[in-house]
Structure 1
Amino acid sequence: MRILRPNPRRAGIGAALLSFLIWGFSPLYYRALDSTPALEILSHRVVWSLLFTLALILPMGQWPALSGVFRAPRLLLTLLPSALLLGVNWLAFIWAVNNGRALEASMGYFIFPIVMLLLGRWFLGERLNRAQQLAVALVVLGVLNLMVLQYRLPWIALLLAVTMGFYSLLRKQAAVESLVGLTVECLLLFPAAILYLAWLAEEGTLVFGSRGAALDLLLAASALVTALPLLLYNFATRRLRLGTVGLIQYLSPSCQFLLAVLLFGEPFTRPHLYTFLLIWGGLLLFSLDSHRRLRRELQAPPVR
């Protein structure tokens, strides 16, 4: 009898696909909450995510790592700004989806890898090769195109890309496992979130508990929307090459793009088309260059 053994790569691909699909279709979740103010949704996301991650930390034996963060002032000082950036990013995305700007939000996550290239160049001294420089130029041209033809700055896209870029840069410097890091970030945001919810309750404008159990359950489910894809993503990155994960990550903004245009009916004008074509061209160059460099590294003889 043949025993089937689990395939780590197949499991990793499955986890990566599921994580990016959850992120990609998350606008559907936030649209279901569009009767709730964005700031209240954000506050619930912080509170319920904290409870969920703490419930995972304890059985997974991560409590020493969590308590260790609070005994390391430098690490805590790194996670404080990362928590603020994460909060701004979450709020901007929620607001965008519920105010007819999901298309622009998808643009932000498309240009995020290019923002990371620039941050690596400016803050880590990483050099850009010609393909990367051209990719950056195409994305910049895409953003400028939308500014010139529509007379407005795509600030939601830039805010999402820049906050996530600086967040990733800070987390790269923080020697902490991602679940522990997310728990600490939620802990740091928790006082403001719970005080805001208490103020809403005092004012009689708190949505939670006033519009039925279904909406309350949806708000509590923000913990799953936040933590589950992150856990799946971490599972995937331990089993796949980063180049593979990098290619799969475009699934998330692609789903958001399709939802915005096909389901939400957001306007997709000719300037939008030109802008996205320039951005996609830059991403194609970036992806091909990353794939080429990864193959070269894998084919290089080991250093003895």
Structure 2
Amino acid sequence: MAGSSRGEQRIGLLNGFAAYGMWGLVPLFWPLLKPAGAGEILAHRMTWSLVFVAVALLVVRRWAWAGELLRQPRRLGLVAVAAAVITVNWGVYIWAVNSGHVVEASLGYFINPLVTIAMGVLLLKERLRPVQWAAVGTGFAAVVVLAIGYGRPPWISLCLALSFATYGLVKKKVNLGGVESLAAETAIQFLPALGYLLWLSAHGDSTFTTEGVGHSALLAATGVVTALPLVCFGAAAIRVPLSTLGLLQYLAPVFQFLLGIFYFGEAMPPERWAGFALVWLALTLLTWDALRNAHRTARTLRAQAERAADAGVQAVPGGAGRGAGVVASGTPGTAGPGTPATADPGGAADPADPGTPVPAARGPEPLDAPATKP
């Protein structure tokens, strides 16, 4: 039994590394699609993502959610908002990578948990713990330092962080699994994307059929590049603790940052290093606070469970054994490391929650996953 559990955790970790590894290495993929522009790549990504996820959902026969969604106009409207916001996120990210701004793009996903926390305070009137306030303040200072270093606000980073935080907030209200959500969003994106591709073709500006079969295949592969990490994430989310996923989420921007410096050769003057150091300090504070709070919650729940167990033993007539008393009282389980009580160190809402970037898995099926990464 224990061996089986360890095996499941190992599979979950491998899938988690695969998901965040693919998200982290995706900057290597977008330049392969040149000479296609960011707009054309984005349109192909929307189109082929729908094709891929539609086939995946047909294979596993999971379409019941679609009928329910169509009968709920408010949820459908929120999906449309999510589709619009993630369109901005994808488009800016693709443009940033293919224009030589990989490091600045990685910063967007580093500061995403901090932006999500700030949105929670401003929009949802959430109350922060002192360490969270310190983390947000440090993150703000980092943005100021980086703005001085760049000679302008780091608008690429801010746009990516704001759009992804907004996307997470909307997805939290929609409450759909990752692949199902991607299917719904790309279904909304499909007609505008297809129309744009046809318009490009009519004006002779499309690269889909002019750069060879290999280039066409790579454009079609944008669907796989988008959806496959979600499938791996779904397999990880149901097998490993949320706290582990919360730590794994930082792999993606770390890989992107390293690629920007060592592979793409982007400059990192001292003031930029200083800004990133402040961001990493803020994330360290946030992670430490989230883990401390999770452990405190787990201890509280364990103490409550023990008190309930003791009360159950005393309540059994005739001095029944401790085991019988526990069963009779229905002792609540303690919050183990894999339960939703274990706060995600990124602390945020759906995708990269600054409360918890990784939401609790909703079921045992491997296609369940939260959000769509770059």
With normalisation by structure 2, the TM-score equals: 0.78
Which residue is 2:245 aligned to?
Answer: 245
Distance (Å, rounded) in 2 between the aligned partners of 1:292 and 1:74: 37
Counterparts in 2 of 1:1-150, with a 5 A limit? 5=4, 7-150=7-150
Letter in 2 for 1:172: K
Q: Which moved more, 1:237-246 or 1:200-209?
A: 237-246
Letter in 2 for 1:158: L
CA deviation vs aligned residue, 1:167-216 (integer Å, no higher than 9, x gap): 00000011222211110100111111000000011001100011101111
Q: How many residues align?
A: 303
Distance (Å, rounded) in 1 between the aligned partners of 2:41 and 2:12: 31
5+ residue gaps, structure 2: 309-374
Distance (Å, rounded) in 2 between the aligned partners of 1:65 and 1:273: 46
Do 2:88 and 2:163's aligned partners in 1 also have CA atoms closer than 8 Å?
Answer: yes
Distance (Å, rounded) in 2 between the aligned partners of 1:109 and 1:69: 30
Structure 1 position 113, deviation (Å): 0.7
CA deviation vs aligned residue, 1:78-108 (integer Å, no higher than 9, x gap): 1111000011000000000000101100000
5+ residue gaps, structure 1: none
Structure 1 position 3, deviation (Å): 12
Distance 1:3 1:107, change over 3 A: closer
Alpha carbon RMSD of aligned pairs, Å? 1.6
Distance (Å, rounded) in 2 between the aligned partners of 1:3 and 1:238: 17
Distance (Å, rounded) in 1 between the aligned partners of 2:238 and 2:119: 24
Do 2:149 and 2:272's aligned partners in 1 also have CA atoms closer than 8 Å?
Answer: no
Larger relative helix fraction:
1
Distance (Å, rounded) in 1 between the aligned partners of 2:277 and 2:111: 12
Which residue is 2:165 aligned to?
Answer: 165
Which residue is 1:205 aligned to?
Answer: 205
Distance (Å, rounded) in 2 between the aligned partners of 1:234 and 1:163: 22
Distance (Å, rounded) in 2 between the aligned partners of 1:281 and 1:183: 37
Distance (Å, rounded) in 1 between the aligned partners of 2:116 and 2:11: 27
Q: Which moved more, 1:126-135 or 1:64-73?
A: 64-73
Distance (Å, rounded) in 2 between the aligned partners of 1:149 and 1:265: 18
Letter in 2 for 1:10: R
Q: Which moved more, 1:103-112 or 1:70-79?
A: 70-79
Distance 1:127 1:203, change over 3 A: same
Q: Which moved more, 1:60-69 or 1:25-34?
A: 60-69
Counterparts in 2 of 1:267-286, with a 5 A limit? 267-286=267-286
Which residue is 2:332 aligned to?
Answer: none
Runs (4+) of structure 1 moved beyond 3 Å? Answer: 2-6
Distance (Å, rounded) in 1 between the aligned partners of 2:69 and 2:57: 13
CA deviation vs aligned residue, 1:8-39 (integer Å, no higher than 9, x gap): 22211111111000000000001212321000
CA deviation vs aligned residue, 1:219-249 (integer Å, no higher than 9, x gap): 1111111001111112212222222111110
Structure 1 position 148, deviation (Å): 2.3
CA deviation vs aligned residue, 1:24-81 (integer Å, no higher than 9, x gap): 0000001212321000000000000000000011121211112321121111011111
SS in 2 for 1:152: coil
With normalisation by structure 1, the TM-score equals: 0.96
Counterparts in 2 of 1:187-266, with a 5 A limit? 187-266=187-266
* Structure having the higher Rg: 2
Letter in 1 for 2:237: T
